[in-house]
Amino acid sequence: MLLACLNRLEATIEAETEALLARRAVDHAAVNHLKSQSLLELSRLSRGLDPAGLDAVAAIHLARLRDKLARNQEVVAMHLRAVEEIGETVAAAERAAESDGTYAPRVGL
C-alpha cells in the first residue's frame, strides 16, 4: 500500500511539473486535491511505520519522490514569479490607461 501511495503522489507531482514546464494548462484545484489526498494517505500509512525498518525499494521510492518534490517546488516557484510579473505589468498598464496625465511629471520645464 505504501508503494502504491508513493507512486500516485509521484505521478501527480511529475504531471504537474511537466505541464508547467510545457506551458500547458493546469487544473490547479484538481492537482492540489490529488496532492492533498496523497499526502493524507501517506501520513496515515506512515503513522506506525519505523523509518529504520523500510526496505530498499521503499527507500528508493522515497528518495525519488523527494527529488521530484524539490524539482516541483522550483518549477511552481518559477511559475508564481511569472504570474506576479504579469500581474504587475497588467496593473501598470491599467494605471497608465486610467491616468489623464494630471499628475505626470512634465518634461522640459
Mean pLDDT by groups of 10 residues along the chain of 109 residues? 93 96 94 95 88 88 95 96 94 84 67
Grid cell 530498499 in the structure block, residue: 56
**What predicted TM-score, i.e. pTM, was given to this entire model?**
0.79
Q: What is the pLDDT of residue 22?
A: 96
Residues 65/9, Cβ–Cβ less than 8 Å:
yes
What is the Cβ-side half-sphere exposure of residue 101, based on CA atoms within 13 angstroms?
Answer: 2
